[in-house]
Amino acid sequence: MSHNRLNYTQRLHERGFRVTPQRQTILDAICAAGGHTTLEEVWTRVHAGSPVLNRATVYRTLEFLRAMRLIVALELDGVTYYEIAGEAPHHHLVCRTCGQVSELEHALIARLGAQVRRRAGFIVDTDHVALHGQCAACHRKAQRRKSAKQE
């Protein structure tokens, strides 16, 4: 993530904003989480470290970084997730049973986007689509339970 590190410092400077330890800490926390986190996760991750950081600052900083387009925000199930901006388009498969989030290749969604555009005239944002359902493991468990019941 060193690429990000250099990059954001520069971007903040350019626009006349300050590079504070709080902003660095929070960006690091997002990167450490694999570039995909919630405010709550940032909070606990950072709070675990020594120099305590105010909760209001986390809110303000995330909003600031979003406005700066260094990170992007997206909603899944009422929770806001934050990611480092400018990643390759990818999509989320959210398991309703275990909550796990996996990724889906872009091609399928790109095709869907094209179809929707043709049929409905609607331009789907195909850089961040979230689909809900059940992951393979949870689905198998559910099936087994069902067939056990039938006997």
Partner DNA sequence: ATTACTGCAAAGGATTTGCATGTGA
Partner DNA sequence: TCACATGCAAATCCTTTGCAGTAAT
Q: Which residues in this chain contact DNA in the complex, by CB under 7 A?
A: 12-13, 16-23, 39, 52-57, 59-61, 63-64, 80
Among 3, 119, 146, 149, binds a copy of itself (CB under 8 A): 119
- Distance from C-alpha of 14 to C-alpha of 90, rounded to nearest angstrom: 29
Give the one entry of a copy of itself, DNA, none that residue 39 binds, where binding means its C-beta sits below a cut-off of 5 to 8 angstroms depending on kind.
DNA
Rounded to an integer, what is the distance from CA 108 to the centroid of its chain?
20
- Cα 132 versus chain centre, distance: 15
Q: Please state, as a whole number, how many other Cβ atoms lie within 10 Å of the Cβ of residue 78.
A: 5
Least distance to DNA, CB of residue 128, Å: 19
Dist. CA 92–CA 107, nearest whole Å:
13
Q: Does 93 help bind a copy of itself (rule: CB under 8 A)?
A: yes
Which CB, 4 or 134, lies closer to DNA?
A: 4
- Which residues on adjacent β-strands are paired with residue 82? 37, 73
- Find the part of the chain contacting a copy of itself (CB under 8 A) among 10-18, 44-52, 57-65, 131-139: 131-139
